[in-house]
Every structure is written in structure tokens, then in C-alpha cells.
Structure 1
């Protein structure tokens, strides 16, 4: 897809706040998380959608397109700890318009379940890299179409969480989905809240087996994808 929005190369988040607690991007005219319950949507779409926690192991690597408020990171780390995982979770996120630490904490206030975890990470919010005993975090800033090809790792699970394809098509285009496939470990997975046909076709073209699954809340469908592992064929 031809890029029609060359100005969307990166910067800082430009926000409005709906009902005082839900951040909405002015650039993309889209909320950062579900108006129903963003944390429950994350658990349904990105955690269960990638068959977690069943697949967790020491060194398990989650990669994400669209860090936003950091809600997905908190949900993944919370699940890691609650299920008694040993070792360290690796989490790499690609974000062009990062929020400030204060904006992230304001967004997290909508979810009392993660208050303690958000406060624990408060000293490192806004940093592009930090390590805890059970978490290794990296944020790669900039346009993912430019930064992902240079990434040297492969993810076990992808959280595809850009703004809605109708508002942010460049984060869902076929070339970027091809890079997602190229940076996925054999047997790795991807999940997203959208079931847009061109997104599913892009994942299929990237080598994934793609399934349209029931969506969260008012969303009828979502997408789950698995990259076949030739060694298990």
C-alpha cells in the first residue's frame, strides 16, 4: 500500500481524554483501549489469542506493534507472575508516538487491578530499555516499517495493536505483515482485535495460518495466526 501519510513518521503522543480517563489519539482519532474494558480486551485478544500463559517459558519473547499506554505489557507481566513462571519474559515494542510517563500512569488509573504493578514500574516508565528480574523490556521508537526490518530477534508471540486499520493503515500493510512473519519464531503466533480482510490476507501472505475468531465485546471477530513449524510437520 502506498504511504499517503508521510508525516506519520514518529513524534510524541497528542492526546485528548474521554471521560477523564480514556486517552484518545488526536492524530488517529481513535481511543487507545476498549471503551468497555481495555484490560479485559487485552486478556482476551492478546493473551488468550496467543495461547498464553500455556506457552510461557523462560525467555519467552513477546513483540508488539503499538505500545500505547503500556497496558499490554502490564497485563502480560501480571499474567507471568500470577502463573508462577520461572525466569524472564522478554517484551519488545515498536512505537512511533510514545506517551509520557505521566500520561501512561493516568491511563492506568482506569484499572485498579494493575495499580500496584504500574506503580512498581513508575521509575522506569518512559525509558526505552530496562531490565527487572523477571522482565527484559525494549522499546524501538519510530516508524515500524523502517525499524522492524533491522530488528535482529524473532518473537514467540506478536501483539498487533496499532490503531484501527481504517485510521492507521500503514501499520497493517502487507509489507509490514511480511516483516512480522520474518521476525516470528517457528510455531510462533500473532493476534489482533481486527478481522479486516486485508490484514488477514497480509498475514497469510507472510506465511501464517490465519483464523477469524469471535471478537471481544461488541467486536464480532478478531484474528489469530500461527506460523507453522516445519520441524513439527
Structure 2
């Protein structure tokens, strides 16, 4: 198992920035609103939620996307369970996750549960949500994964700073691990990312981005 931890500095006191990739983990403007716009709305959520709905993600980071998804599921009052699988090459220490998530007090009750139970590489059962964070390079871990997702959050660091997580081969693996008519969303509108997703079989759309980002990308498989 890979044992490389995230290397951080803190911007404006609350926003963790990867020193390895010189990139913040979430928007300096409003990370929770960014998650809602890009990953939830970008995948048609919560409207598509159903029992057993499976979200997969490249880049777990602070866990903010998972917590926002779990909160959205709880708000619907749907019966059943939500699955969330994330691939993370450089996992953040739990105490750093806690410091970052303190910026989002509305998520505090859920964050406390997640942080208390968090463990890499196993199913962590949190009320109706089952979280599994797979450590290691997604280029090796994703091909070995047996699952398929209904929705993908592509949230690795910027393609310009971490191109390894956005290559055509990995986008092909994302498609291979997506249910028919499954979706994908990402904050980037980089041309090579959009082409990689299109070549993998997604119908790709460029849509308005969050905050100062003019565009982002969504896609539907098939």
C-alpha cells in the first residue's frame, strides 16, 4: 500500500494547498458552493439518487465532496444507501482534514462522524453512506477495481499541474468503470481532458463553471 501523505501549506488560514502540485484543494471563494455546482449539479444530483447509487471520484482530498454528497442524500429523505468510492494517491492526515473542514460549519456533524471512523482501504459505514477510499495511484488502482459508478467526480489537481491524473488511458478506465448512461463532471474545460473523455465514449458538454472559471465539463456515457 502506498504510504505517501499530502504535503500542505495553508492559504488565508483555512484553505489547504498542496505544495507538491502548488494547487488548492478547494475554491478560495467557497469550496462547498463549488462542489454543489460542479460535482452535484454537474452530475444531475440529487435528482438521480436512488438506493445503491454509486459515486466514484479521482482525488479524495479533504473529503469535502463526499460530505456534500452525503448531506445532499440525507436531505432527500430517500430510503436505501449511497456508495462513494474515491481514489487518492496522497492521502491527507486526519488532523489536516479536520482543520480544512472546519471552514464548513454546516457539515460539522457529518465531518465529525467521518473523521472519527476514517480509515484507508476499507468500507467505512456512516449512517446510510458507505465510503471507501482507495490509496495509491489511480492509474494502477482503477484498472484493478471491480466496481462501476453511476456518477464520477474528477477532482484531481489542475491538469496543467498534475497531467498524470487526466490522461487518455485513465479517462478510458473511468469509462470502463461507469454504468450505461452514467455521468462525469469536472471543474476543468481543458481541451485534452474533453477529448480524452469523448474518445472514451462520453458525450461531452462544456457548461458554465463556478465563480471565476468560465467553463467546466460534463459528460454522459453512451
Q: Same fold (TM over 0.5)?
A: yes
* Distance in structure 1 (CA, Å) of the matches to 2:214 and 2:13: 28
**3-state SS of 1:123 partner:** helix
Matched residue, 1:88: 81
Matched residue, 1:173: 167
Matched residue, 1:135: 129
1:91-106 maps to which residues of 2 (within 5 A)? 91-106=84-99
Q: Which of 8, 12, 15 is the equivalent residue of 1:19?
A: 12
**3-state SS of 2:86 partner:** strand
Measured against aligned partners, the alpha-carbon deviations of 1:49-79 in whole angstroms (never above 9, x if no partner) come to 0000111001000000000000000000000
CA deviation after TM superposition for structure 1 residue 120, in Å: 2.3
Tell me if the contact between 2:120 and 2:134 (Cα under 8 Å) persists in the aligned partners: no
Tell me if the contact between 1:66 and 1:95 (Cα under 8 Å) persists in the aligned partners: yes
CA deviation after TM superposition for structure 1 residue 10, in Å: 6.3
**Structure 1: stretches of 5+ with no match in the other structure:** 1-8, 229-233
* Distance in structure 1 (CA, Å) of the matches to 2:119 and 2:23: 22
Tell me if the contact between 2:114 and 2:126 (Cα under 8 Å) persists in the aligned partners: no
Matched residue, 1:76: 69
TM-score (norm 1): 0.92
* Distance in structure 2 (CA, Å) of the matches to 1:101 and 1:126: 9
Tell me if the contact between 1:178 and 1:206 (Cα under 8 Å) persists in the aligned partners: yes
TM-score (norm 2): 0.97
| Deviant stretches of 4+, over 2 Å | 125-129
1:1-233 maps to which residues of 2 (within 5 A)? 11-129=4-122, 130-228=124-222
CA deviation after TM superposition for structure 1 residue 132, in Å: 2.7
**Structure 2: stretches of 5+ with no match in the other structure:** none
RMSD of the alignment, in Å? 1.1
Tell me if the contact between 1:100 and 1:126 (Cα under 8 Å) persists in the aligned partners: no
Measured against aligned partners, the alpha-carbon deviations of 1:135-154 in whole angstroms (never above 9, x if no partner) come to 11111111100110010010
Measured against aligned partners, the alpha-carbon deviations of 1:11-61 in whole angstroms (never above 9, x if no partner) come to 100000112110000000000000000000000000000000111001000
**3-state SS of 1:139 partner:** strand
**3-state SS of 1:194 partner:** coil
- Report how many residues are paired: 220
Tell me if the contact between 1:94 and 1:142 (Cα under 8 Å) persists in the aligned partners: yes
**3-state SS of 2:32 partner:** helix
Measured against aligned partners, the alpha-carbon deviations of 1:116-164 in whole angstroms (never above 9, x if no partner) come to 2111222113443211330111111111001100100100000000000
